[in-house]
Amino acid sequence: MLTITPTVSASDAYRRLLQYVKPYWLVFAIAIIAMLAFASTEIGLAALIKELMDGGFIEHDLQIIKLLPFALIGIFLVRGVASFITTYGLGWIARKVIMNLRTEMFDKLITLPSSFYDKNIPGQLMSNYSMM
């Protein structure tokens, strides 16, 4: 049996998937903020290394040498927490979106008449109708 599937542009598919993320906007916003914090640690680490080179090795400033280990620990602590929040938040959202998609697919398939299942094999149903 030959079936024609409609073509969907990438932007349409992305927009459609973003509709499933809307209920989790708060977690998504927190994950974005954590990404920004993680990215800012890159800049902070570079600035800290510059201070280490200039103040610690060239000027021999003891105050900078004493405070640098605490600053390094602070930057890596912020970096670790931000990385965890980003990974956990986006993973949680992904699992919720997948669960919603599966629930919608199941709800749609459960309402179809039995004659529909007589005409189609299960593998074909799962591959063709999972995007409905």
Residue 52: half-sphere exposure toward Cβ, Cα within 13 Å: 12
Which of 31-35, 62-66, 72-76 is the least confident region?
62-66
In this predicted structure, what is the pLDDT of residue 3? 58
Q: Choose from 12-16, 84-88, 104-108 the range with maximum mean pLDDT.
A: 84-88
pLDDT tens-digit series, residues 8-23: 788 888 888 889 999 9
Length of the chain measured in residues: 132
Q: Tell me if 127 is assigned to some domain.
A: no
Domain carrying residue 31: 21-101
- The number of distinct structural domains making up the chain is 1
pLDDT tens-digit series, residues 89-100: 999 999 999 999
Q: Tell me if 91 is assigned to some domain.
A: yes
Q: Tell me if 16 is assigned to some domain.
A: no
Secondary structure class of 120 (helix, strand, coil): coil
d(CA 36, CA 30): 10
In this predicted structure, what is the pLDDT of residue 1? 47
In this predicted structure, what is the pLDDT of residue 65? 78
The dihedral region occupied by 81, where left means phi > 0, alpha psi between -120 and 50, and beta the remainder, is alpha
pLDDT at 2 exceeding the cut of 60: no
pLDDT at 56 exceeding the cut of 80: no
Q: Tell me if 84 is assigned to some domain.
A: yes
Q: Tell me if 6 is assigned to some domain.
A: no
pLDDT at 5 exceeding the cut of 70: no
Q: Tell me if 114 is assigned to some domain.
A: no
Q: Which residues of 60-95 are buried (b: 16+ CB within 10 A; e: fewer)?
A: eeeebeeebeebeeebeebbeebeebbeebbeebee
Alpha helix positions (H), 1-132: 10-21, 25-51, 62-110, 114-119, 122-128
The mean of the pLDDT values for the chain is: 85
Sort 33 into a burial class: Cβ within 10 Å, 0-12 / 13-18 / 19+.
middle
